[in-house]
Structure formats: structure tokens, C-alpha cells
Structure 1
Amino acid sequence: MVDSVTLDGLDRRLIHALQVDGRASFSRIAGVLGASERTLARRYHRLRSALAVRVVGLVDSPRIGMLDWFVRIDCAPDAVDPLTAALARRDDTSWIAPLAGGTRLTCMVRTPVTGTEGGRALFGHLLRTPGVRDVEAGCLLRPVAGVGGWAGRTSALDATERAALLGPEEEPRGQEPQGRAERPPEGPPGAFGWGEAEARLAGELARDGRADVARLAAVTGWSASTVRRRLAGLRAAGVLHFEVDVDPSCLGYPVEALLWLEVAPAALDGVTRALSRHTAVAFAAVTTGRASVFAMVQCRNAGALYDYLTGELGALPGIGRMETALVLRRAKRAGPLLLPGPVDRSERRP
């Protein structure tokens, strides 16, 4: 559980800057924000130590031959906490949340592509777990909103400041999305040279997206120049990107709701394009299963959630049925679990 953290204006500007480019040096960010490099570094490390904010490196699953699944698990009340803890310790899970009501939890699971073992082993294990009554999994077909930044954490900088951060530096910048995210063409894993060293690189960046080159070189066995070259190549190919993992309650949005929408096929494109423009939507994706669209929504309070459901969302044609659930707490977010405590405060060039 994250301790209460209050973010001021400079914290919010720093978070937005890191969303524009999670590996930009603090000296570069300082030049744009008009604050000292030391102040920004101190603020980021304070927030990361409190588990309120951190930069994580994320891999696009299809580009490395993997699939992502949104999984809903119905279980006995006394099984929720042990199962949540067990899932959180796994390397192939993220976004784990017990839901309000006490008998369901959700998570994202990464598995090999269908045709190999797929998710059969994990899903079968879940069904055999004492206390688990039902498991429902929908495969993520395409993210349609929230990739590269949710409006709740990307509204502190103006266009000029964003452009300054996107200027040339040692490593290529991640593209600041506006509305629906455009994906680079997909290719087979071999097209990007994905192997064990790349997997170790991604694992370290998932723990700390700002890990310095020396640490990444030690993890991969590469030289520093190779690390920089492979990072640039994987980012340019859309295989690797960086997100700011931030507790929404710190930004004033403590109410998180999950939505499952049944959308008519002819309306699917229009609905997803609209969701990509809704400021309440932190993430949305088209999935398999009864509900063709899954979304995570962040609101300031229950009344704001009601207004969104009956207003912006309710105005969209083609939605036949909607299911909502409130998140009780997030046991795990985008990156691996971290324990509170000191972090590496050295600010060598990431």
C-alpha cells in the first residue's frame, strides 16, 4: 500500500516530462522545466521510494511472440488475498486488483502465443486452486487508449515544453500520443533480434526504466555502446516503450473503475476512437470474449464516475451492454513488485 503522497505543481510537471521521455536526463528536463537538476532528481527519488511514481520499461507483447490476457477470477472471500499475493509474485502478471465486493479479482497475464502452450498451464492451475470458482480470460487484441499517457498525468506541460523534450538527444524519444495510438508495423520476434539478452534488458527496465547504461551492460553482458544501440533500435521498432507508473490517487483520482463493454462490430471503430479522447479513460483495449472492449477509468469521486457513464460514454452509439466494477486496491501495477526503501540516487546518464 502506497503511503499518502501529495504532489505539487513541479511534481506534476516532472511526471509529465518523464511520460514524454522516461529516460531523459534530469539535466535535460531541468532545462525545460526551469528547475535545478538536483531538485528534480531528489523529487523523483523521493516519489519512487514511496512507491508513488516510477518509470517502467514495457515490451509490446505481440512483437516478441507473446499474448496479453485480461483475466477475471471469481473465488471464495477467504481466497482473494492469498491468490492476489501469489499472482503478484509472478513475473508474467501485472495490473492485479481485488474488486469491491470481496469475491473477485482481475489481472493481466502474459503468455506464449496460441499454438504453443499458450496460457493453458496457468489458467488450468488457477481453476484447480482451492477457493477459485471461475476464471474468464479475454485476449488483448489491440490497445486503443492510454498507451503513452493518460490525461490525468499528461496535462501539466504545454506543447512548446513537450516539443523541447522531444528534441534530439542520445536516445530516441518516445512519441507523445494524441488521441488514438498509432502502432508501428508488427513483425516476427526475429526481425528485432530478440533473444535472452534482450529479455534480461527488458526485465531490468521493467524494474527501473531509468536504470543507467552501466547497470544494463552488467545485466546483459553487452558493452555500453551496444546497450545504447539496442535500446535505440528496440524503441524505434516499437518493441520497447516507457511509461510513468503513478498511483492515480496522488493525482486526485482515487476512484478506479473497470468497464467491460459489449459493442456492435460496426460501431467498434467509432467507440474506440471516442474512448481514446475521453480524459477519464486511463487505458482501453479491444479484447476477445463476451465484452469486446475493456477499459480502466479514473475519477475524482463516485459522482464523477456516474457523470462519465451517463454522459460521454452513454452518448456513444453501438454499446449494447456494460458491466462495471470498482477496484478495491491495486496489489500490482505495470512493473514488478517493489518494496519501500532506498533506491539508487546516482544520476549517471540513463
Structure 2
Amino acid sequence: MESDVSSGGNPGSDTDPDAAWSPLAALDALDRQIVHALQVDGRAPFNRLAQVLGVSDQTVARRYARLRREGAVRVLGLTDPLRLGLTPWLVRVRCTPDAAASIGEALARRTDTRWVSLTSGGTEIFCVTHAARAGEADALLLQKLPRTPRVVGVAAHALLHVFFGGDHSPVSRTGPLGPDEIRALTAPDAPARPPDTSEPVRLGPADHRMLEVLAIDGRTSAADLATATGWSQTTVRRRLSELRSCGALYYDLDFGGGRLFPELRTGLWLEVDPACLAEVGAALAGHHQIAFAAAITGNANVYASLTCKDPEALYRYLTGPIAALPGLRRTETAPIHRLLKGAGPFPL
């Protein structure tokens, strides 16, 4: 739906009735702690997780294996395309009503797409895409989609800056761990400040082989990564630390189609005065409903993905925190009908 919003909007109540809700509510207390710990550091050894959580190594390993087997959670090692000199595109594909599902499933099978979903009553597909390597053409945008039968229209927005996302998710805000536990779990090679983005990070053939393995399982052992790359385990560990500390590599959780995040997921497109863009981005990054927020090109210059527990919670969020954003001219919401693919390049 679309609505014109005057600047300033309705500030809403100081007390958020939805603040106590957590997308991890379907899990028991220990599983919630493990998931939050993995969001902090997806490659943390099980013995370090166990020490911080006060349980045995075997318990943590067994719990994570069950969550992964059930499709509830898996750790992915992913790259930040902006740090690699690549331009991510947020693509909206309008299809004839009988074609969206099949075209969406075809897009989900491609390794150059992420976050493929059916929105707007099942007639529109949303996805994120970028070329696999610097210097390669964005074949999906330039060749494939415009020539696909039953595609009515394609709109592409270049992603310019991420306000919230990467190795952060709603779990980062609503998880059960406290500040001391988070500090104890934070990886020593995690970027302590925004990395220098003046020059893109260059990857070699062995880097690409290692990153392909991590995109399937971010907890792949150093021994298996050494086999994939031809490096020694020491070189693997050093290169992982280098890519992590410069911001090129991060670890995220993919919740697949399992028991987590079954609630109302919505894409939010905002048209914001350019002078207010940074302020709006910082505000969105602090909202517990936001799973991802970024500045993009186009009339709608901010995109956000959000999760609310039900339609009433979405209404309260749109008429409260969103309406109160400075410089807001227009909003558009696109409820996600079906998620076909998540954060990684390879579907489950």
C-alpha cells in the first residue's frame, strides 16, 4: 500500500507495546542464547560458546546440530559486495499473475541473487543481485530479466550505503545475552570501526573457492577450507582474519523456512529528503522491527526490511516510529507473501 506522509508525522507513544516481542519466541531459553551467540560470532568455537553460556561443549554442539538439521538456523560466511567493488541492486520484477512463482523460483536458483521473495499479492518478485566478481557484467539485469516472457516490468535500485544489516539482525537487539556476554563472544578480528572503503578488497582464485564453501556453511573447519583452497590451515586462518577485519567477510544467520521469523515480514520503501537521509538511516538502525536498512537510488531512496508479530503491530510501527521520521515524504509497504531464498547465494 502507499500513503503520502507529511514531514514530522505522528510521533506515537513513548512506550512501545511491541518492544518485548522477540522473533526467537518459538525457541527455548538455551536455544535462544545459542542463536544470539552465533549472531555475535558465527565461527566461535563451541567450547567458547559453552563457557560463556555456562553449559557443556557437547550440549552446544548438539543443540546447534539439531537447529541446523531442522532448517531453523545455519551460519553463513558472506561477503560485503560494496567492499569488493561490486554494486548490489535491489530489483522489483512485476509479472503476470500466473508467472511470479515460477520466475521467482528460477531466480532463487541463481547464485547471483539473494533474498528472493514474492510480494504484493504474489504478482511481484523482489530480490537482491550483483555480479559475482568485479568487472563482470550484471547479466541478470542487462540480459535475462528484460527478455523473460510474462515479465511486465523491472525496476532496479542501486544500493549505496547500509545502515543496518550484514552481521546484525533483529536477534542482535532482541536476543537474551547481556553486554558482558556479547563482549566475551565478540571475535577479536571483528571490525571495531567502519573499515577503510577507499580501495576495494581484491580477491584471488583461492579466496573465491574458500568463500563459496563458507557461503554454504560458515562453520566449515579450517582443515576443509585448506582442502578447498590448497592453502595450509595456518594460511586459511590468517586469510579469514584479514577478510573479516577489513569488512569484506562477515558471518550471518540464515533462518531458512524453519520455525523462526514466521511473522509478518514486509518491505518498506521510503522517500526521504536527502538532507535527512543519514538521520533517518540512524533512526531505522535503532528500531527493533528493522532487519535491514539501506540508502538506495531512485525516488524511494531508502529501503528497509522489517518483521512485526502481526498486522496490528505493523500498523503501530508505521503510524508511530516511521511517521515520526524527519523529512519523510512518502511510504510504500510490500508485505512478503513467500520467501524463496535468504541471505546466501545457495538455496537450502
TM-score w.r.t. structure 2 length?
0.87
Q: Please tell me whether residue 267 in structure 1 is matched to residue 276 in structure 2.
A: yes
CA distance in structure 1 between the partners assigned to 2:234 and 2:223 by the alignment: 10
Closer, same or farther: CA 112–214 of 1 in aligned 2, 3 Å: closer
CA distance in structure 2 between the partners assigned to 1:187 and 1:41 by the alignment: 40
CA distance in structure 1 between the partners assigned to 2:136 and 2:58 by the alignment: 49
CA distance in structure 2 between the partners assigned to 1:329 and 1:153 by the alignment: 24
- Cα deviation digits, residues 195-237 of structure 1 (max 9, x gap): 1111111111111000001111111111111101100111111
Instruction: Report deviation, 1:84.
Output: 1.1
Letter in 2 for 1:211: T
User: Could you tell me whether the CA contact under 8 Å between 1:153 and 1:251 is conserved in 2?
Assistant: no
Instruction: Report deviation, 1:51.
Output: 1.7
Aligned-residue Cα RMSD (Å) equals 2.1
Farther-moved stretch of structure 1 (120-129 vs 275-284):
120-129
Runs of 4+ off more than 6 Å: none
Instruction: Report deviation, 1:248.
Output: 9.0
Instruction: Report deviation, 1:247.
Output: 5.1
Letter in 2 for 1:262: E
CA distance in structure 1 between the partners assigned to 2:204 and 2:138 by the alignment: 21
Letter in 2 for 1:111: A
The DSSP-based 3-state class of the residue aligned with 2:316 is: helix
Closer, same or farther: CA 338–287 of 1 in aligned 2, 3 Å: closer
Letter in 1 for 2:298: G
CA distance in structure 2 between the partners assigned to 1:271 and 1:29 by the alignment: 35
Instruction: Report deviation, 1:113.
Output: 8.6
- Alignment gaps of 5+ in structure 2: 1-24
Partner of 1:165: 185
- Alignment gaps of 5+ in structure 1: 176-181, 340-350
Instruction: Report deviation, 1:78.
Output: 1.5
CA distance in structure 2 between the partners assigned to 1:234 and 1:89 by the alignment: 27
Instruction: Report deviation, 1:309.
Output: 0.3
User: Could you tell me whether the CA contact under 8 Å between 1:20 and 1:174 is conserved in 2?
Assistant: no
Matches within 5 A, 1:71-150: 71-111=91-131, 118-119=137-138, 122-150=141-169
CA distance in structure 2 between the partners assigned to 1:112 and 1:230 by the alignment: 20
CA distance in structure 2 between the partners assigned to 1:218 and 1:19 by the alignment: 27
The DSSP-based 3-state class of the residue aligned with 1:311 is: helix
User: Could you tell me whether the CA contact under 8 Å between 1:94 and 1:333 is conserved in 2?
Assistant: yes
User: Could you tell me whether the CA contact under 8 Å between 1:127 and 1:135 is conserved in 2?
Assistant: yes
Q: Please tell me whether residue 215 in structure 1 is matched to residue 235 in structure 2.
A: no
Closer, same or farther: CA 266–173 of 1 in aligned 2, 3 Å: closer
Letter in 1 for 2:312: G
CA distance in structure 1 between the partners assigned to 2:257 and 2:140 by the alignment: 33
Partner of 1:53: 73
Partner of 1:66: 86
Aligned sequence identity (%): 45
User: Could you tell me whether the CA contact under 8 Å between 1:253 and 1:301 is conserved in 2?
Assistant: no
Higher relative contact order (CA 8 A, sep 6+): 2
User: Could you tell me whether the CA contact under 8 Å between 2:44 and 2:187 is conserved in 1?
Assistant: no
Letter in 2 for 1:275: L
